[in-house]
Amino acid sequence: IQEMKQELEDLAFAEINPDGRQSILKRLEFLSSKGEGLIDSIIIEIQQLLANKGINASVSGREKSPYSIWKKMQYKNLSMDQLSDIMAFRVIVDDVPNCYKSLGLLHQEYSAVMGRFKDYISAPKRNGYQSLHSSLIGPKKTKIEVQIRTSIMNEFALNGLSLIHISE
């Protein structure tokens, strides 16, 4: 449902504010041309960093949608250059201690963006969502957002409570 929501938002954004969307697309294209394969290289670098410290992790990454970028720019009254999370990476680890260990390693290796850390593991959202979120000046001096969670937390985030197997 989240994918359909994002697609509908982006299609509506193209109709309601074509100039704003086009401006964001041009900026994303420019950033992509500067760092061809950047998302893949950041994924590899994060995986290697964690693996070298004995953490089994699955890392994925993506570029945020034009509408979600525009919405954040409007909400926070920021320019696109000021946004710290145009690229988002998800780190899936085996257990909660490795969530915090991974966060510590990422904060040791890269500069954290002040005021851009949330611990939804120790203080879950009202709907039960759990994850660690941090914005970093990451690999290649790129502003990124990282979400760190276990596979069970990820399953809940993607599919909701109804699809999680709860042992009796």
> Rounded CA gap, 128 and 116, in Å?
21
Angle CA(11)–CA(133)–CA(61) in degrees, nearest 5?
A: 55
Tokens of 52: 């070298």
As beta bridge partners, residue 93 has 57, 150
Q: Say if CB 53 and CB 101 are below 8 A apart.
A: yes
Question: Do the bridges between strand 87-93 and strand 143-150 make them parallel or antiparallel, or are there none, so unpaired?
Answer: parallel
Sign of the C-alpha dihedral computed for residues 115, 119, 120 and 125 taken in this order: negative
What pLDDT sits at residue 34? Answer: 62
Question: pLDDT tens-digit profile of 71-128?
Answer: 888 888 877 776 656 789 999 999 999 999 999 999 999 999 888 899 999 999 999 9
- Beta-bridged to residue 91, according to DSSP, are 59, 148
pLDDT of residue 84: 58
DSSP 65: P
Two structure tokens written together for 162? 């109804």
Question: What Rg do the C-alpha atoms of the chain give, in angstroms?
Answer: 17
pLDDT of the residue at 102? 98
Q: Note the pTM of the prediction, 2 decimals.
A: 0.81
Structure tokens at 135: 């914005």
